[in-house]
Amino acid sequence: MILFRSVLSFVFLIAILAINNSCSVETAKAPIKKQLIILSDYLNQTDVGIFKPFAKQEYVDLKIIHMESDKIIGLMRNQGSNVQADLILINSLYDVQTMYKRDILQTIHFEKELDTKIKKISSTKNKFIGLGIDPFIIANSKVSKIRTYNELRNHPFVNDLDKKQLIPMLAPIAQKLKRVKANNWIRSFYKSTVAKDTLLDTLGNLLPILTTYTKYTTSKDSLYQFEQRFLTYPNARTSGVFFNIRTMAIVKQAQNYSVAKSFILFYSEENNNIQLNKKLNVLSTFQEGLPFRKYNETPSNLVQYYQTVDRVIKKID
């Protein structure tokens, strides 16, 4: 009898444990994916794969919406804190500065967590974090060459930069020279510029083209014949090469702020930053052995000259 009761108690205990385990299995839920929505003027949803390392590590469902910078500003101004977006990745620092002035970016509170090299191309005051650099270069031919930015004042060349790129390119000139000299420099620059469809000089030689590193290394535009030209970094051994910044900025009052912060910190780490910039065809500030010296003034100090350059360009146009 005692043995029977012991066996019965054991069977009952096993049954209870089985029921508990069954309930645990039924009630266990898969972790919920975090969300991150990116607005970008140079990426779209087909590019989401380049962020796979971050998405996998942080278990994030990432969405990219392609939108020009002026439309991003309009969207933010109209919808405010209700906007369905968290992070902004923009091609030119000029547009980020405009967004900062329109007060649509979130203040950066985690500067101390960033690497020193990232801090040098970032500005917590202007609410952006640098991702990579895109140098302003010259695509030269074997005969017609420009080796310094100063030669752009008196040598015919084709300008492949739009206004949003041109203003960051000319900002160091406004910073280095006094106002009158800077104005004269920019006017001489414009006088040397020839029409984009005028690619040959009077002797039939290919004219130099002022463009960006990204455009030179990725463009398939047969008009410019980049394959027949070689890349020159102006001022590479002297005062340094001028460059634009690919940036990361958080939307003001972003609904997924913590995920956006994690994204920035992830791609501010050296290895992750180098790998991502390779995919974006820009250069990482961590990259060793660059064939040029970078212009030593920080982008955060140069943005204050954008308005001066813009004013001069408007008078010339």
> What pLDDT, in 10s, does the model give residues 198-219?
887 777 788 999 999 999 999 8
Tell me: do 86 and 176 sit in the same domain: no
- Tell me whether residue 275 is in a domain: yes
Tell me: do 196 and 232 sit in the same domain: yes
Which range among 26-30, 32-36, 222-226, 233-237 shows the weakest confidence by mean pLDDT?
26-30
- Tell me whether residue 184 is in a domain: yes
157, 194 Cβ separation under 8 angstroms: yes
* pLDDT beyond 50 at 268: yes
The tokens describing 29, both together, are 């839920």
Tell me: do 55 and 121 sit in the same domain: yes
Tell me: do 258 and 117 sit in the same domain: yes
216, 272 Cβ separation under 8 angstroms: no
pLDDT the model gives residue 195: 84
Q: How many domains does the chain have?
A: 2
60 CB neighbour count, 10 Å cutoff: 18
pLDDT in tens, 34-49: 999 999 999 999 999 9
Helix (H) or strand (E) holding 183: helix 179-192
Domain range holding 278? 34-133+245-292
The tokens describing 263, both together, are 């994204």
Please state the φ and ψ torsions of residue 305, each to the nearest 5 degrees. Answer: -95, 0
Which range among 14-23, 24-33, 34-43 shows the weakest confidence by mean pLDDT?
14-23
